[in-house]
Structure 1
Amino acid sequence: MNDKSKLKVYFYCFPPTLNGYGDYASAYHYYQHGTVCLGEGLQALGIEFYANVNFWLPSPEEPFLFRYDPNVSPDDCDIVIINEAWWERQGQFAKSLCDIQHLLRKNRPHQTILIDLSDDSPRKNFLDPNLARFDHYFKSHLSKSTPIFPNTHPFPFGLSERIIKELALVPPFSQRHHNLLVNSRVFLNGDHSLRNYVQKHFLPKINSIIPLESKVITDARDRGAYHTLQWAQASGRHNPGYYELLLSTTTCSSFGGYFISPFPRHPWTILGRACRKTITKLGWKTHRLVQWDSWRFWEALAAGCVPIHLDFDKYGFILPVMPENWKHYIGIDLDNIDDSINRIAQNLDRLPEISAAGRVWALENYAPIAIAKRFLKTVGITQEIT
């Protein structure tokens, strides 16, 4: 399919009546961020798309981004997209609402694509042979040290219009507080082994160079109808107070992930999971990580707040467009923490340029239009799209 004017896309969105909008506990796992980013990009490009349900309100006054049309079925479209919410719920809600096997049948008239931004777990991550039946499998958290199917492509969290809107007005860097923001949504001292290691070995040392800021922001439900809606739709991840804090701070601790053993090759087997739990319990570090992508990394970039994470190249993280260490972000080498901290101490004057370059890089490569263009090119829509 190469004619943009005739291209039609069909999304399976997890129904709002089932993911519990307004109820943080039940909505938590079903924020369909990848679907929203791609839909926003396709809309901006003028590409026609449909959905199984009405889904995602940009604001209380606007119509749904994804709309159901009873006259359009998946087989009327060139591309059919399922997201991780459907894949997770196979055998429960999903089977009664969407016959995934039918969408994967031979000689189907459309490409069937899975977009999976979920955390790593045994069934979803390359142990299920059904994943190879998709024409394309777009996945977050990819790295060079973990196995993938040939149809797999990196699809990191990136930026939605909701996030970009909240972080549109960036103050001069000189007006920010010289702090390192450390207030992860998933708290430290839990089972996030990378954050635990950083808390013990990195944060106490960097504190003398960049003072730590751990202010906790309450949720958005007291900030009006728009923010209450976005808080619910984003499963509690939307918080204007947190975005304001990013805009007022120079740097942000953006670490996320779990250390895994050098063996077995598949970290999601029973043995692999047992090794991961042992590594976490004993506080060890390795050079292999899963679940490394971080909401704070992307939000900090868009806010012009310099994110501090691991060195993406050293640890083999895979993105479709890679950031450069010390140009777009600051990447730490856990084998040489003191050297990493000394480099930060000696280059504090570079933070403003990294702030500006990182924000430009993120908006150029990971805003919805860029995400949609890259997606279309990957799935074979090759004509130029302006």
Structure 2
Amino acid sequence: MAEPVALKLTAKDFKSDQEVRWCPGCGDYAILAAVQSFMPELGIPRENIVFVSGIGCSSRFPYYMNTYGLHSIHGRAPAIATGLSVSRPDLQTWVVTGDGDALSIGGNHLIHALRRNVNLKILLFNNRIYGLTKGQYSPTSEIGKITKSTPTGSADSPFNPISLALGAEASFVARTIDSDRKHLQSVLREAAEHKGSAFVEIYQNCNIFNDGAFDLLKEPETRDEAVIRLEHGQPITFGAQGEWCVVHPPGGFGLEVRETASVDPADIVVHNSSVPEPAYAFALSRLPGADLRHTPIGVFRSVQRSSYDDIVREQVSTATAKVTDPNAELASLLGSGDTWTIL
């Protein structure tokens, strides 16, 4: 990743000259503004930043960032970004994708980028619908979802993107919400500082084809009891007065929500995002039900391990150091064995 330097950039410097074209009221506008506003904090020249996207509403993102960018093909952004990250360590590489792009045709590319711990910042905009193709159900749509492609209700069980990322042993996994700018930017900062794959799921409202999908987490009268804010080193409590908490069930596995007054304070789980094994973070990711009650947001896991980029570059350097005359080695390779001359 490029080292920060002394620069005086503003959010305006990261706004391109392209007209932003999403549906009025789309949550993508809020995410774009948040990213453009926090980018100057990195102190990285714009020419050392690149955004790579696939196909979908979210994938228009590179057009609106005044950095380098690639609008690639459906689901393949992590693969293209992997090659870029490995070959250009001077760049900070971001992937912008959606729940359809990343988890359907791009599913294998996503999990292998995370498994390898490629030095990428992956932002997955999850609106639980296919927006660009006009409202079909997506891999994160709930069972029974009625859409143009499932008129009698979806029969598919949805992916939990956080659980999926943790199952792939991603070294950084987080979740945030498009309309909570302060929280969104705090998560982006941590992702930007992470060495290796940083996966951030962003709940994003599609007000045309799936409006209100996350209202439970946003409305003042419900959000306090629905949203669990994870803070490293702090007991996991939530509610307007902290009346709910997360504990280990007696004699059981996983985690559960209990009334704070009904448990010994010593039994309340203290959040630790740096636990080496992903089992604890995975248990946290299984808390929300289909109705989004008890939804954790924040950093689930942040651990350090060797990045794919560093390992590959070290292998190349080691192999190169053994070659005394590259031209002679190449000539020997091309001339070895049976050869044919075509005239």
Flag whether TM exceeds 0.5 (same fold): no
Structure richer in helix, relative to its length? 1
Q: Which has the higher contact order (CA 8 A, sep 6+)?
A: 1
TM-score normalised by length of structure 2: 0.31
